[in-house]
Amino acid sequence: MGCYTSTLSNWSIAQELQRLVRINSVLDKEEEYEFHKEGCIAEEITPFNEPNGFYKQGKSRLGTQRFQCKICKKKTSLTPKRDNSITYNQKRSDVHHLFAKLLLSRTPVTRTCEILEIGRGTYYDKLELLYRRCLEFLKRHEVKPLQRLEFKEMWLNTDKMTYYLNNVREKGMGGSRYDDVEENQFPTHVLVSADVLSRYVFRSDVAYDWEITLGDIALDTVLLKEDHLNEFAKKYVQYPKYSHYPQPSSANDTQSKSEYYKELVLVERRMKYIDGLNVSSTYTTVAHLWLIKQIVKAPEWRFVTDEDNSLMTSINRVFSKEIRLSDAHHFLCQTDKTKTRKQAREEFVQARVDLIDWGTMRGYGTRSLRKLAYLQMAELFEHHEFHKEIVTAVGTHLEYADNPILHPLATIDRGLRSVDCTTNLFSLVPKEIAAFILNVNDNATNTFIQHIRRRLSILERPLTTARGDGKSYIYFQFQSKVCSNGSYNSSHLLQLLSSL
């Protein structure tokens, strides 16, 4: 039948799942306390394992318990938890509210620092703090209640935003001595999934791992012999071009020395740039959808995407059982992005006129555009099908016909859109198919993507370079700030901002 599939690495999918869970989780800091003076004979006991060995000495000004050892008389106050004080260990806690307002009001980094009278390092510290507080709010007020809800059906709109990050060298790797350079920008994908009807955004994930280093890949290549494995069996196949570290050819290898050195040069050149690697959008999308599936309880699923292979294959893999049972359907929604605003508005106005005229000719006594669109599509699907039946010598089967229709409800900013369905709808009557198609749109993800691009000046549109051969993203450079988990770069910042 001319069908084929590409095998993915379960190990790499598990690695990507672990990464997404890790960067979106907040853990309490584990403090190390000294409850005893030096030489105390009871230095092994603590108030947690032996409370009878301590006196309670009231509460500190932050509301935390104070203990005193009964033997050495040393007093120790516990560190407050977030429930007691959300501003603990924050020297400039007075700027938090204004900082959040400035961040979401398109105020540049430099201007924000001038208004708040803080340094750039403090700016990114506050941004990280705000991100953690947002994650805590989501966990407390949205994730837990969402796990208790059950939906009759879930309409999920998934899309990708592509952003070009600047490629910056490591410190000491610049200058005229290093003329072997990589591309100045590399595309990075942001995955967004939102409810079609309410536009509630379930997840937003960046397909970039800022924690991975080529040194980690080199170590595992030596230990696990990854250079001799198939792609679907490797640990790091989610990183295109860097699934393993090149190793010298052995006696039984088919790779020549010239091929080995050519591959090694590319990897060594990449090591001169800041740590972090792009993740294949397919692996990020699979992990992204799998995490949504775990938290959202719904027996029926409806997916709306554009014709993106990584999105389509991820849906078919994560929801394969639901699709086989016809409990999940995938719809394509595409618009012509070459239209001007004038052309889109003309299509919008003409579509309204055509729909009302059609209803008048059919004798329907309503001018509701949505109801007329439903009636028109119910009539259309009496003879229109998205799949065709193929007869062969061994039997019959259904095949995707690539037979889209124009949605009768146009939008004022993008005009008419084409709608198609890649899953089998033969078990549904025309009215049910019309009700499905009526809901197909990508407004939910488009709105969110425009919000994070327009509300945050750091993600604003780039400037065209003087040479005219590219674009400069000077407001979104890799940051030099060093966090507890490694270098803090722009992909990290993109993840923080898209999750606020």
> Mind listing the pLDDT tens digit for each residue in 199-217?
999 988 989 888 888 888 9
Per-residue model confidence (pLDDT) at position 383 = 92
pLDDT top residue among 482 and 42:
42
Which has the minimum average pLDDT: 78-82, 323-327, 429-433, 484-488? 484-488
* Contacts for 102 with CB less than 8 Å, ≥ 6 apart: 111, 112, 115, 116
Rounded to whole angstroms, the Cα distance separating 429 from 188 reads 42
- Per the prediction, the chain carries an average pLDDT of 82
Per-residue model confidence (pLDDT) at position 179 = 54
> Mind listing the pLDDT tens digit for each residue in 151-198?
999 999 999 988 777 666 666 666 555 555 666 667 788 899 999 999
How far is it between the farthest Cα atoms of the chain?
A: 97
pLDDT top residue among 497 and 32:
32
**pLDDT over 60 (residue 261):** yes
Burial 24-35 (b: 16+ CB within 10 A, else e): beeeeeeeeeeb
> In this structure, are residues 103 and 124 in contact, taking their beta carbons and an 8 Å threshold?
no
Encoded tokens for 135: 């994650």
> Mind listing the pLDDT tens digit for each residue in 112-156?
889 988 888 888 888 888 888 888 888 888 888 888 899 999 999
Q: How large is the average pLDDT for residues 54-64?
A: 81
**pLDDT over 70 (residue 253):** yes
**pLDDT over 70 (residue 467):** no
**pLDDT over 60 (residue 275):** yes
Encoded tokens for 63: 């509301």
3-state secondary structure of 437: helix
Domain ranges (residues) in the chain: 38-89, 90-148, 213-273
User: Quick one: pLDDT band at residue 458, thresholds 50, 70, 90?
Assistant: low
